[in-house]
Structure 1
Amino acid sequence: MDKAQDRAQDKAQFPGGPMSGLVASAVEYLVDAGQRSVLFLDIMRQRGDQYREHVAQTAPHVLQYAAELIMDGRKLDEPVNYALVRIIPPKGVEIDMKRRPFVVVDPRAGHGPGIGGFKADSEIGVAMKAGHPCYFIGFLPEPMPGQTIECIARAEALFIEKVISRHPDADGKPCVIGNCQAGWAVMILASLRPELFGPLIIAGAPLAYWAGVHGKYPMRYSGGLLGGSWLTALASDLGGGKFDGAWLVQNFENQNPSNTLWTKQYNVYSKVDTEADRYLEFERWWGGHVNLNAEEIQFIVDELFVGNNLAAGKIVMSDGRKVDLRNIRSPIVVFCSKGDNITPPQQALHWVLDCYADVDEIRAYGQTIVYTVHESVGHLGIFVSGGVAKKEHAEFSGNIDLIDVLPPGLYEATFEARGSGTLNADLATGQWIMRCEARTLDDIRAMGGNSPEDELRFAAAKRVSELNLAAYQKYVQPWIKGMVTPQMAELARNMHPLRLQYEAFSSQNPWMSVVKSAADEVEDKRKPASKDNPFLAFQEQMSKQIVHALDSWRDSQEALSEAIFLNVYGSPALQAAVGVDPNAAPSARREMTAEHRAMLDRRIAELKSKIGEGGLREAAIRALLYVGSARGMVDERSIEALRQVRRDHAGARLTLAEFKMLVREQFFMLLLDRDAALAAIPKMLPDDVNQRRGAFAAMREVLSASEDITGERAKRLKQVAGLFGVDEGGEPVSKVAPFDPQARAS
């Protein structure tokens, strides 16, 4: 009997007009709600059992892919609980061993490893689909004795060296993806060992920890409101020298109480017939809590979240080297979202403002920075959303070589859906077309940020943290360490509320065996309510009211927290008491070092001396950059057209690294002395008119790949045609037109 017949039968049992229909709907809803309640409790039982099985494993993870262990960090001279594995491509996925490998570094933010390969549509999945070999750096639940953040950085350097050695013919160094907490770790390592890295993709990673705007993102106030990092030290001491990652997960959950306390569970309850698998898959990762050594978490909190020392260049390694993000030589792709209340765009991007005065200074360091800001996805969605993987991450993977050869500067990556009317759609690799559009630092400033008064407040909070931590370490810590036994520390971890919620509903609870039996019976007699049942609509409305109430409570608490922080740490008396100079600029931009200035002067002199050197290839790239720069963006179709020209061009092929160097040199020559660089082009060209015609035709093909050549680009192309001794159609003219600076397009 189908659902319609059931409803007809129910109504027949309650004759008498509209009221009888309402009664029938009520009975139908009560049966459905009772069955859903039983099935929901059974899903909670499955979640608890899954949790127990997961934490019992030696190396738990949520990778969907098979993996081969390449290096075990526990066996290094400085042992760490990290490991490098090679992802084994699934059947039907072809890998090109000459393409640069991808290395995904998972965040150790309280959860277990695997989120970068959580599903087919993931960072690993789309990179393999694009033909790249993939590796994964994950970790075990327990840290090694004495393990520090610096030890982990050295281990990850060895891992990346191993990947490089396994791919000697790859067309470029590995692309490394750092998610969330792994993002800042990758940036630290790349600043210390820049020679190891190809492009970096930093997703949802905080790098400027004080940055934000009033009325949003209150997590940055937490350190100051708690009196600093002394509580971190206390939690580690109560854990017997280990910090329980469940507290970090708790911090995530506290940011969205409506989801934590209601929406996540209600979504399963209301869609109990379809949501179980998705929910259990996510909860396997969400509940896989791991531990950190006390030294690790103290570094993270003191140096980064409270101290904000990364962008300021104040982190010093044990060998005396300073961590300076300006030392990174690989392109940096920053992926963030306005919907991320854990790492808002300001925290992801304002390090650029701390490091550089303007785009020219970014170029002076030879740096390429590409950012993209999603409009709505939340923090976890940056890593786990299938839609994000199929759009942003797929485009990054498919166009990583485009990013690698971009001239130095600041760009924003934008995405346009590919359709039937898209020009030269066959030159785009996926469902979207990626463009890298030139930006200035004002575009980042327009997102909002701190005032000088706000910077002083955070500086005061940092100083209070230092004072409180010193007092705790001197007067309290010895007593705590003396009292806490390993057994007490283990009991404290097991009694954490996040762990108890899994244990309480597992099969260890004898009452859950009754739930399992009832669920088996319900599945055989399942009778969902019809979608037009009025009581279901009432249920949905009640759910929305609960979410609204919890969100309102959160908003009021966040507003109160912000007001307390701003008023307490904005007090001139407090600032004076802790030694904060109100006339100082706590996060003032650093000046270029004398060493770098001298190196830059030498490089400028070298490039100027080489302006007249080179042949057809150098001249063509120089001319292409000159014309293309008028548009202020680079389109993936233009790069694909350029690839095809390179592939079809007779003669010795350049490697990607050699081509990148060629592009950068010609770009800087134009930047340093455009008139001289253009005037030199005719002398660099061969006498063979057919070669010049072929090069000019190739330029036209690349320039017209993404849009018609009009406006300023058309003017510049006409000028270049004269330098090449051809007309605008590529036909030879009587003689090469000399360069005339007065006629140069502006």
Structure 2
Amino acid sequence: MNSPMLTPLVPSLPLMDPGGYVRSAFDYWRDAMERSLLFLDVMRHRGNQYLEHIAKTKPSVLGFDTEMLIDGRELPRPVNYELLRISPPAGISIDPHKRPFVVVDPRAGHGPGIGGFKPDSEIGVALRAGHPCYFVGFLPYPQPGQTVEDVVEAEITFLRHVIERHPTISEKPIVVGNCQAGWQIMMAAALEPDLFGPILIAGSPLSYWAGERGKAPMRYIGGLAGGSWVTALLSDLGAGLFDGAWLVHNFENLNPANTWWTKQYRVFANVNTEASRYLEFERWWGGHVVLGGEEIQYIVDNLFVGNRLSTAQLVTSDGRRIDLRNVRSPIVVFCSRGDDITPPPQALGWIRDLYEGVDGIVANEQTIVYCVHDSTGHLGIFVSGSVSRKEHTEFTANMDYIDVLPPGLYETSISRANERPDAGLIDREYLLEFTPRTIAELDREVQHVPEDDVRFATAARISEINLGLYRLFVQPWVRALATPGTATWLRRMHPNRLGYRLLSDNNPLMAPIAALAEKVRADHHPVEEDNPWRVGEGRLSGQIAGVLDAWGHWRDRASEQLFLLVYGQPLLQAVVGLGTGHPPRRRPGGEPEHRRFVERRQAELRARVAEGGPHEAAMRSTIYVLGGAPATDERNFKRMRASRAELEPRSTLADFKHLLREQFFILKCDREAALDAIPTLLKGLPAAEIDAQLEHIRHVLAASGDLSAHAADRFARIEALFVRARSEASAEADEDATMKRSRPSVRKASGSASQRRRRKTDEA
């Protein structure tokens, strides 16, 4: 580069090239060659990193120190999962009174650790909030004969152990399930609902048939392949093991521009700044794991192609129905419109699959909260630092609030405090608000198309037929030919794995790259960003990415149209038994036992309308004013709970939750009778205490600013009821005073009328 022959020419270049194009071309050519060598060296590091990572017995990208508590391989039904306790980093202290936080990582082709990949992660947020944290990870190879049910039972065992480690905490653990782990956790919670506190499922496809046309290409893959027989074939070729690299391959095919060009070009264009970030992520992205053939077949048949989880059609091997309506913990669903792997319809469609209206959600005593991000991608939901600092921080900070929300369907929105007119009332950077929703409003996100359900049901029937034919005619031959040796060779030759190996030190052709790259780093000559050739490079890259994007969109549209055309044929639908005009699947009806339970519960609530005291009256009034929810946002909840703690220091969050839900159900059961009973609940209190209770309600409601016109009208009604109770209390006080003056002996023997009533209330 500093040849004596070139050096004299450099000063004269501007004279011969007034525009500087030759000089800029020379500078760009030199920089491009240097960046090419540095880029190849980054790829070499990536390959070496991959080989080092997969050679580990327990590869993980978890960024925190851990202690293993339970090895799933030692359970009665062995699995390759393990329960880890997260050790808090230096400078972070854990509050022993806070409920545990359990993060379950997805096993969908990649290795474990993404939930705690870096400090700004789900685990990092929970640790900074003072929660004891636990992590459920896994090993790269399954145990022989391992099933999905075995994994679900192992996670139930892990959760029981976490609860046992915190006997003084009455609230159950908060559980986070990312992607594939989300539906797995929901299955566990449906089987053992009493073990779970609030559940956060992030980017989890619980309703795989759902999706907006033109935006959910992955849901067509099973039908276009003729069903799940392909999964069985790959498992048989793997000698009973399914290579997770095939799942990663499907994910990468969704975005050909990023997979084949943009991701690599970003490193090439900014090799000095992007290399470390790229290598850090590739350590997880390339850490492929293996699934058992029986496991992946169950997943594809029952969830992806069959879509049986969202309509309570799954039954365990011992006869237990997996019905998501059994979940009693609040469920927080976090998804994004920018996610092409689990778009919002697939994350939220299970709600409308189970329920025709919100009344059904309330009758099942379920609280479902959903949050839809505008733009982040699938991995950004649980990897992005900005999402962790905002959404996950707010979810973690408000889990106690979410835990006491009355049954119903809510949408959350997060706003920056300094951008709101009531900023003075907010003590944190963001504010989390909750808005009650109906199933009709949810349908705007789900965009359900009944005709598509018939198509997917047809594809599921065809899948069963093809799988049966494969097992009868082909599977015996494939299994006879496949051996552990051939399976290992096929895994190594997978394109996703081979790319790492070819660009590593295992390839002799890469040997000179390290030395050349070291020389370039010592004397690198980067060009300015305004270099015309560098600008042209950027434009050319954009055009290449644009062409790949256009091809990907065309492919997705063609796949969608082919699927809709083939499986929309009335003849094909009739052949598989779906040509009757009836919906292919119905929402699960309420079982007679559950209906009788609801009827008994309503009768009990009606009998308790007039039972209680000032706490019940205040809670009932607050819920009524706020339209059925306990608070418009976290501020009301904090004031309500703090006030109750002052009035009843020994009350726990569980007591507060019970009181709130009980009063919510009483209002829901018979609102007019519940309101008319408020003066009865206040009987026996002096007028001053009734005024204090009314002021307490006013103080709680003021936490979120001025009331709306509707809420103000409701508060006026509550105020009138309290005034009526106050008048009755004043009248009683006057009566007591009169009795005291006229009949002191009787008064001494029996006490005042209000005291007698108060004694009766205490005895009751």
- TM-score scaled by length of structure 1: 0.94
Counterpart AA for 2:507: N
Which of 669, 674, 683 is the equivalent residue of 1:672?
669
What residue in structure 2 maps to residue 3 of structure 1? none
Report the 3-state secondary structure (helix = DSSP H, G, I; strand = E; otherwise coil) of the residue aligned with 1:14.
helix
What residue in structure 2 maps to residue 55 of structure 1? 54
Distance 1:241 1:471 in 2: 19
The 8 Å contact of residues 79 and 142 in structure 2, kept in 1 or not, is answered as: yes
What residue in structure 1 maps to residue 622 of structure 2? 624
CA 1:631–1:141: 2 relative to 1, 3 Å: closer
Counterpart AA for 2:90: K
Report the 3-state secondary structure (helix = DSSP H, G, I; strand = E; otherwise coil) of the residue aligned with 1:523.
helix
Q: CA RMSD in A?
A: 2.0
Does 2:654 align with 1:657? yes
The 8 Å contact of residues 336 and 344 in structure 1, kept in 2 or not, is answered as: yes
Which of 631, 634, 637 is the equivalent residue of 1:636?
634
Does 2:408 align with 1:406? no
Distance 2:508 2:479 in 1: 37
Counterpart AA for 2:235: S
What residue in structure 2 maps to residue 295 of structure 1? 294
The 8 Å contact of residues 87 and 136 in structure 1, kept in 2 or not, is answered as: yes
Distance 1:726 1:608 in 2: 23
Does 2:703 align with 1:714? no
Report the 3-state secondary structure (helix = DSSP H, G, I; strand = E; otherwise coil) of the residue aligned with 1:725.
helix
CA 1:693–1:169: 2 relative to 1, 3 Å: farther
The 8 Å contact of residues 47 and 502 in structure 1, kept in 2 or not, is answered as: yes
What residue in structure 1 maps to residue 696 of structure 2? 698
Distance 2:13 2:281 in 1: 44
Distance 2:485 2:714 in 1: 75
Q: CA deviation at 1:113?
A: 0.2
Distance 2:388 2:707 in 1: 33
What residue in structure 1 maps to residue 741 of structure 2? none
Say how many residue pairs are matched: 725
Distance 2:718 2:8 in 1: 83
What residue in structure 1 maps to residue 163 of structure 2? 164
Distance 1:11 1:25 in 2: 12
Q: Which runs of 4 or more aligned residues in structure 1 lie more than 3 Å from their structure 2 counterparts after TM superposition?
A: 8-13, 17-20, 424-428, 630-633, 730-736
Q: CA deviation at 1:389?
A: 0.7
Q: CA deviation at 1:448?
A: 4.8
Q: CA deviation at 1:18?
A: 5.9
What residue in structure 1 maps to residue 560 of structure 2? 562
Report the 3-state secondary structure (helix = DSSP H, G, I; strand = E; otherwise coil) of the residue aligned with 1:598.
helix
Residue deviations 1:252-307, cap 9 Å, x none?
00000000000110111111010111111100000111111111000000000000
Q: CA deviation at 1:422?
A: 5.2
Does 2:186 align with 1:179? no
Mapping 1:199-348, distance limit 5 Å: 199-348=198-347
Residue deviations 1:527-547, cap 9 Å, x none?
111121111111110011001
Counterpart AA for 1:278: R
- TM-score scaled by length of structure 2: 0.92
CA 1:12–1:177: 2 relative to 1, 3 Å: same
Residue deviations 1:75-106, cap 9 Å, x none?
11111000000111111112111111111110
What residue in structure 2 maps to residue 681 of structure 1? 678
The 8 Å contact of residues 112 and 137 in structure 2, kept in 1 or not, is answered as: yes
Report the 3-state secondary structure (helix = DSSP H, G, I; strand = E; otherwise coil) of the residue aligned with 2:435.
strand
Report the 3-state secondary structure (helix = DSSP H, G, I; strand = E; otherwise coil) of the residue aligned with 1:419.
helix
Q: CA deviation at 1:401?
A: 0.6
Q: CA deviation at 1:11?
A: 6.8
Report the 3-state secondary structure (helix = DSSP H, G, I; strand = E; otherwise coil) of the residue aligned with 1:333.
strand
Mapping 1:430-509, distance limit 5 Å: 430-509=428-507
Q: Which moved more, 1:377-386 or 1:677-686?
A: 677-686
Q: CA deviation at 1:680?
A: 1.2
Distance 2:666 2:589 in 1: 24
Q: CA deviation at 1:111?
A: 0.1
What residue in structure 1 maps to residue 40 of structure 2? 41
What residue in structure 1 maps to residue 121 of structure 2? 122
What residue in structure 2 maps to residue 606 of structure 1? 604
The 8 Å contact of residues 74 and 144 in structure 1, kept in 2 or not, is answered as: yes
Structure 1 stretches of 5 or more lacking a match? Answer: 1-7, 737-746
Report the 3-state secondary structure (helix = DSSP H, G, I; strand = E; otherwise coil) of the residue aligned with 1:682.
helix
Residue deviations 1:524-570, cap 9 Å, x none?
10111112111111111001100110011111111111111111111
Distance 2:207 2:681 in 1: 46
Counterpart AA for 1:155: A
Distance 2:12 2:66 in 1: 60
Report the 3-state secondary structure (helix = DSSP H, G, I; strand = E; otherwise coil) of the residue aligned with 1:297.
helix
Counterpart AA for 1:69: M
Residue deviations 1:496-547, cap 9 Å, x none?
1111111111111122221100111111101111121111111110011001
CA 1:96–1:472: 2 relative to 1, 3 Å: same
Report the 3-state secondary structure (helix = DSSP H, G, I; strand = E; otherwise coil) of the residue aligned with 2:411.
strand
What residue in structure 2 maps to residue 585 of structure 1? 583
Report the 3-state secondary structure (helix = DSSP H, G, I; strand = E; otherwise coil) of the residue aligned with 1:589.
coil
The 8 Å contact of residues 438 and 633 in structure 1, kept in 2 or not, is answered as: no
Q: Which has the larger radius of gyration?
A: 2
The 8 Å contact of residues 725 and 733 in structure 1, kept in 2 or not, is answered as: no
What residue in structure 1 maps to residue 750 of structure 2? none
Q: Which moved more, 1:443-452 or 1:481-490?
A: 443-452
Q: CA deviation at 1:650?
A: 3.6
Which of 644, 652, 659 is the equivalent residue of 1:646?
644
Q: CA deviation at 1:681?
A: 1.2
The 8 Å contact of residues 623 and 631 in structure 2, kept in 1 or not, is answered as: no
Q: CA deviation at 1:697?
A: 2.0
Q: CA deviation at 1:452?
A: 2.5
The 8 Å contact of residues 228 and 466 in structure 1, kept in 2 or not, is answered as: yes
